[in-house]
């Protein structure tokens, strides 16, 4: 089984070992792995669906729990800082969708590539960015992962290409990365993510065509959180079967559910299945993508509005949000599954919660005290590996000087 959720999870494995010491029971008292029955997913132009049994080990479950809790707490802190006007500009939060990021990372390798839209904080973390770097980027500080110049929508790290603000534009960029993988003969692939709102963009269909024609090693993933910018999927799309939209590209979809607040078994099955804990899934997705593209639809839900300027309750009710929180929250269900299968103790998970909160608070302190980038650096870092070139004999940035 693969546990490739970046350096984050490897570090988490060490921390969870320490956390186990505070448990009331010895490590040997816990179940080391458990098998879960899940609902069969929908497939398109595939001969068979992945198996309906998944296996998760105790160590993997603890790592997934820590990672999702870190992402959740990080987003809630970003919400707080934005309302305090410490974070400014665009800000799109990912709370509620954490299982998507963790599941994707579990099924691919760290050497594979990933690109997404502006709801990017979680993926920056799973790709190897630190909470401190992410929070400092949100507050526009020098220690941010993009040196304080990118903000919420533009974060990058190794094999992660953002964080992109133009709706749907990251998909053709992801195809370009996949083309580079194939051209250079690397055994790598690129995951390109987009939302249900972006799924109607013409450039995405153009990308499908090129990727299928050239058999690019790409996985196109539609994170269907059921609402675009204030509009439900049913009002925006003639067909909401996003996993079939590739037409000539095979597709898979998890959790086909017409109502909000789906049965816990479906959500739990979806969550574990997306985690990629079934080996045939890892082979049928990553392996198939290396011989041509594949399209996936992950049905999920965001708790916040589309962005911080969207209250998120003008086009859906508060009761709907609370119902999904109560019945379908991926963190709560992972916790319940681990406890009910004797894979962890309450004390152990509480210790993880305490450690995560401290990490977030320490990162927030750094993000609010670290200096802002100096004005003279405003126009630097435009190019990857060379200084700014002379444009008509003018260097406007050379005249900028910080006064603070």
Residue-wise DSSP of 366-383: HHHHSPPPPGGGTT-S-S
User: What is the per-residue pLDDT for 393?
Assistant: 54
Tokens of 316: 């859906």
Is 50 exceeded by the pLDDT of residue 78? yes
Residue 195, strand partner residues? 223
Backbone dihedral region for residue 52 (phi beyond 0: left; psi -120 to 50: alpha; all else: beta): alpha
pLDDT (average), residues 308-335:
90
Q: Write the CA distances from 317 to 210, 223, 224, 323, integer angstroms.
A: 40, 21, 18, 10
Is 70 exceeded by the pLDDT of residue 391? no
Q: 211 by DSSP, 3-state: which?
A: helix
Q: Quick one: CA torsion of 268, 273, 276, 279, rounded to 10 degrees? A: 130
Backbone angles phi, psi at 138, to 5 degrees: -60, -35
Burial (Cβ within 10 Å: 0-12, 13-18, ≥19) of residue 13: middle
User: What is the per-residue pLDDT for 212?
Assistant: 95
Tokens of 93: 């939060």
Which of 36, 68, 69, 42 is closest to 54 using CA atoms? 36
Tokens of 31: 């179940």
User: What is the per-residue pLDDT for 186?
Assistant: 87
Element (H, E) at 34: strand 33-37
Tokens of 206: 């153009």
Tokens of 379: 């126009």
Q: Write the CA distances from 216 to 113, 156, 212, 272, 352, integer angstroms.
A: 13, 23, 7, 27, 40
* CA dist., res. 18 & res. 136, Å (int): 28
Percentage of the chain beyond pLDDT 90 is: 57
User: What is the per-residue pLDDT for 292?
Assistant: 85
* CA dist., res. 179 & res. 158, Å (int): 18
User: What is the per-residue pLDDT for 382?
Assistant: 72
Is 90 exceeded by the pLDDT of residue 16? no
* CA dist., res. 140 & res. 370, Å (int): 9
pLDDT (average), residues 366-390:
79
What is the end-to-end Cα distance of the chain in Å, rounded?
A: 53
pLDDT (average), residues 117-135:
97
Angle between helical axes of 346-369 and 330-340 (0-180°, round to 10): 150
* CA dist., res. 240 & res. 221, Å (int): 14
Q: What is the mean pLDDT of the chain?
A: 83
For the stretch 185-218, pLDDT in tens is 888 889 999 999 999 999 999 999 999 999 999 9
- Please answer whether residues 22 and 351 qualify as being in contact, where contact means their C-beta atoms are separated by less than 8 angstroms: yes
Kindly report, as residue ranges, where domains of CATH 3.40.50.970 are found in the chain: 33-373
Q: 36 by DSSP, 3-state: which?
A: strand
User: What is the per-residue pLDDT for 241?
Assistant: 94
Please report the sign of the dihedral spanned by the C-alpha atoms of residue 388, residue 393, residue 397, residue 400.
Answer: positive
Q: What is the CATH number of domain 33-373?
A: 3.40.50.970
- Please answer whether residues 190 and 293 qualify as being in contact, where contact means their C-beta atoms are separated by less than 8 angstroms: no
Residue 178, strand partner residues? none
- Please answer whether residues 87 and 136 qualify as being in contact, where contact means their C-beta atoms are separated by less than 8 angstroms: no
User: What is the per-residue pLDDT for 1?
Assistant: 39
User: What is the per-residue pLDDT for 275?
Assistant: 39
Backbone angles phi, psi at 178, to 5 degrees: -65, -40
Tokens of 130: 């630190």
Q: 390 by DSSP, 3-state: which?
A: coil
Within its chain, how far is the Cα of 248 from the centroid? Answer: 26
Q: Can you point out the beta strands (E) in 84-145?
A: 113-115
Is 90 exceeded by the pLDDT of residue 70? yes
pLDDT (average), residues 246-252:
91
pLDDT (average), residues 348-374:
97
């Amino acid at each position: 089984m693969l546990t490739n959720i970046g350096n984050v999870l490897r570090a988490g494995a060490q921390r969870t070992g320490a956390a186990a010491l505070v448990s009331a029971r010895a490590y040997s008292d816990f179940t080391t792995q458990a098998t879960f029955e899940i609902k069969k997913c929908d497939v398109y132009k595939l001969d068979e669906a992945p198996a309906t049994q998944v296996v998760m080990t105790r160590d993997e479950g603890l790592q997934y729990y820590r990672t999702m809790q870190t992402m959740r707490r990080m987003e809630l802190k970003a919400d707080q800082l934005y309302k305090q006007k410490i974070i400014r500009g665009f800000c799109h939060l990912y709370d509620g969708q954490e299982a998507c990021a963790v599941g994707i990372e579990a099924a691919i390798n760290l050497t594979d590539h990933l690109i997404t839209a502006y709801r990017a904080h979680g993926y920056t973390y799973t790709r190897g960015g630190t909470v401190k770097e992410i929070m400092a980027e949100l507050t526009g500080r020098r220690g941010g992962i993009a040196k304080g110049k990118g903000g919420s929508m533009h974060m990058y790290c190794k094999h992660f290409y953002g964080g992109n603000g133009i709706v749907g534009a990251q998909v053709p960029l992801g195809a370009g990365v996949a083309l580079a993988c194939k051209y250079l003969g690397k055994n790598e692939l690129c995951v390109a993510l987009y939302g249900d709102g972006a799924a109607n963009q013409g450039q995405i269909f153009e990308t499908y065509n090129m990727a299928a024609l050239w058999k690019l090693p790409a996985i196109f993933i539609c994170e269907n959180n059921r609402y675009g910018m204030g509009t439900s999927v049913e009002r925006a799309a003639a067909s909401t079967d996003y996993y079939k939209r590739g037409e000539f590209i095979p597709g898979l979809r998890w959790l086909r559910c017409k109502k909000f607040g789906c049965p816990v078994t479906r959500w739990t099955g979806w969550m574990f299945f997306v985690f990629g804990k079934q080996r045939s899934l890892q082979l049928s997705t990553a392996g198939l993508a290396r011989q041509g593209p594949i399209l996936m639809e992950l049905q999920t839900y965001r708790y916040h509005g589309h962005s911080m300027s969207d209250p998120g309750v003008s086009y859906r009710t508060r009761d709907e949000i609370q119902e999904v929180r109560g019945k379908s929250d991926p963190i709560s269900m992972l916790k319940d599954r681990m406890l009910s299968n004797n894979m962890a103790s309450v004390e152990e998970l509480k210790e993880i919660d305490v450690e995560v909160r401290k990490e977030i608070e320490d990162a927030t302190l750094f993000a609010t005290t670290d200096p802002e980038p100096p004005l003279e650096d405003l126009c630097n870092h435009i190019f990857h590996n060379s200084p700014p070139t002379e444009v008509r004999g003018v260097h406007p940035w050379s005249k900028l000087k910080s006064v603070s």
